Structure 1
């Protein structure tokens, strides 16, 4: 979609802005949302600065020939000021927040780049974009972090010391921009564990019910790709008086296939009681509320393991996982789903969780509990503003509101 200058919005940036604004002299921070996955991660970070009267936060969604559908609707639902992409790339911002490598070379202003899942390095050994495997893809490769010899991020926020070591081998010229910040999503989930009972009540669970959550990433080697009947099988196998079942699907499942189609595919499960969690709200709270997670190699399964939820792995991508990656560690330290009775497999997952949790936590973050402080400090440094005197805080994780099918 091409947006002409006549369609540019009369917002707080650009020519004539000084005659339009009510709050003058604000630093401008641009939040770049090419995918819903990137957007949900950035919404963990934006609250660290958006309440500051010295800062104006605006959003943009890249419009290219291969853009993801539904992303603009997702951003509009957050009620932030949305700049057309063609307008955003013409303006120089005081800070650019990104959780994806896409289109960074077109943006003007210091970029803070964070990962959009568990860990900055990919768990897949090869890029999904490649038609055939050639070289391993890590997320820290030179072609992602530089453009024509120019280093793209002013700050590259890494999750672990292992990632910094890997960066030194893969793209050492970016090391001066690297900061090990930990994982703000994990920190929020650990903090949100105190609201576990509230989230369970919102989901309609009674105190005696156990919540089993089926967690699927996207692509053909995911749970929903390989075993689409798993939700129904689990519902049929467990008595509803003692168990409730939820499903958390990666945003790209919804984006690629469409919300109506995904809901239709799972309509029989929803009629049988499945709690279908929307892609843009509530997956973190659902993991907190869970008693057992049946997952795959996706980030949501890893986060569940890191907050101490028992995990059973239902699909195995085999040698397509990078050895030593987060997904590989979860796979090697969790039981594999079998065809036998489910309660016994839940018991086995509970037995394994105390060993699994520290492994998953260490793989996701080297700075537990520190991500908000580190990221805020870096953002204000790039903005050229002194940090607020108060400690950083982020709002409570949104409660899960299952989709009505």
Structure 2
């Protein structure tokens, strides 16, 4: 069997299908790279990462194959010898590329790509929904005669992964925050092309302890720009905690973990909708979206995001839309795709499948963990013994109370400007002599000596304990209680609590330890106790 791929995205789709052949030693699989794509370099790299055995295109053209699998009708697949199968390339046929093929038709429905000398060159068109079959019947009836509705294997992997949602969120460091995923297709009308600054704008204007942001890009965008350049272009957002999801499996795991999705006209958001996630539109219009497609109908029904400040309102509006019902227009036979595909593919091979159960496998946990920001612009509101803090990216244009920075990770410019400096304890570990280690008491005192603009220095000793030294109020052990809710234990970042304590100490009231405070950090109300500095905490080795 030959797998013919033009792009990394097409390869990823087929990898979700190959489990239909698991346990069958009769099937040998080879991969080849179809020439002519602008994205073939990344496709070759993806093939190498997959561990696939490859054959050169010329060699593939000279050989006879029992079955050929492809996930794109573009390119010279028709010259390959053997029974050919076209698999779904995405969530339906929602987008057309101006200047390619027939006007206003996606390639998956376009006779320009599906016919050779007036005849369909594929022996099977695998579709995800009856509406897609109806569309193919209108535009290319000869190809529709060879089509079957089997469902979507990628969606079935997402559905099979629903029970792993908490594990994915833990891997992403989401905690009690709301995970908002931005999804972007490729091309001149994509979210990243039209609104390249949106990820950084959202992060700079919305509180870090309330929202986490992730970006899911079409694999073609990874290929077009490259990971190095993407990291450079997105650097402000990445340094502030943006998750850039990988183009295989990880993007889908991030959607499972998501609380809501902000999308352009790319069909990735239909997968989130099928999971019941709220969807917010961020498509500025153009010529690529096909009217009355499943994606067009979804965007017509969901609220639109015109500016970052409108996100919270849009989230409220999006929660009232039944996105799963809208996604039903793109996905049929949910949970059945691999079984239906196995029957169809083995029928083409003239073989009986092995008596091995076939089921979609859960997605692996995300590994693209976000960077932990080293500095925050902090808004603080003190009302008696209750303090609310909101931490934003340092470049925000919002009015803030103070700048807080981690020493020395934040760098000289931010550490010199910060009113709050904190350091996290290393967590111990054997250090072979000779060595020199700061104590928490020694380090906090030294910081206030060296940084005249700093008002509070804090050593974070663990998830529930800090040593806080204020320039005028004194030195305290700060104990942070975890929040227990619904059978879960939630913990705030102690650095956020340090900013709350700093704001309270600077409000003018002289503390008499011990004293209890209530700190509102994101969705959590954290109980905090200030005590006289414990000797063991002063001597704690950082």
- The alpha carbon displacement at 1:264 in A equals 0.8
Deviation at 1:318, TM superposition (A): 4.5
| Partner SS for 1:336 | coil
Q: Which has the higher helix share?
A: 1
Residues 1:38 and 2:10 aligned together:
yes
- Report the secondary structure of 2:352's partner residue: coil
Task: Indicate the SS of the match to 2:137.
Answer: helix
- 8 Å contact from structure 1 (residues 182, 364) kept in 2: no
Tell me the alpha carbon deviations over residues 160-203 of structure 1, each in whole angstroms, 9 at most, x when there is no partner: 11122222222222233110111111122122111111111111
Say whether the 8 Å CA contact 1:203–1:400 is kept in structure 2. Answer: yes
Runs of 4+ in 1 over 6 A off after TM superposition: none
| Residue 211 of structure 2 is aligned to residue 243 of structure 1 | yes
- Please say if residues 183 and 364 of structure 1, whose CA atoms lie closer than 8 Å, have aligned partners that are also in contact: no
Partner of 1:348 in structure 2? 317
Verify the 8 A CA contact 2:191 2:264 in the aligned structure 1.
yes
Name the CA distance, whole Å, in 1 between partners of 2:14 and 2:243: 26
Per-residue deviation, residues 121-170 of structure 1 (Å, max 9, x unmatched): 2x23x43344xx97321322222112123421111111111122222222
Question: Could you tell me whether the CA contact under 8 Å between 1:297 and 1:316 is conserved in 2?
Answer: no
Q: Which has the higher strand share?
A: 2
Q: Is contact 2:98-2:287 (8 Å) kept?
A: no
Does residue 128 (structure 1) correspond to residue 98 (structure 2)? The answer is yes
Query: Any unmatched runs of 5+ in structure 1?
Result: 1-28
- Residues 54 and 65 from structure 1, CA distance in 2 versus in 1: closer, same or farther, beyond 3 angstroms? closer
Aligned to 1:367, the other structure's residue is in SS state coil
Q: Does 1:52 align with 2:18?
A: no
1:265 & 1:403 partners in 2: Cα distance? 18
Q: Using the alignment, how far apart are the partners of 2:281 and 2:366 within structure 1?
A: 23
Match in the other structure for 2:232: 264
Counterpart in 2 of 1:181?
Answer: 150
- Matched-pair contact (CA < 8 Å) for 2:8–2:39: no
CA RMSD of aligned residues (A): 1.9
Contact between 2:97 and 2:288, CA under 8 Å: does it hold in 1?
A: no
Q: Unaligned regions of 5+ residues in structure 2, if any?
A: 372-542
Q: In the alignment, is residue 394 of structure 1 matched against residue 360 of structure 2?
A: yes
Larger radius of gyration: 2
Q: TM-score, normalised by structure 2?
A: 0.65
Count how many residue pairs are aligned between Structure 1 and Structure 2. 368
Q: Which moved more, 1:54-63 or 1:338-347?
A: 338-347
SS of the residue 1:47 aligns to? helix
- Partners of 1:153 and 1:51 lie apart in 2 by 26
What residue is the counterpart of 1:314 in the other structure? Answer: 282
Mapped partners of 1:297, 1:249: distance in 2:
12
Query: Could you say which structure has the greater relative contact order, defined with CA pairs below 8 angstroms and 6 or more residues apart?
Result: 1
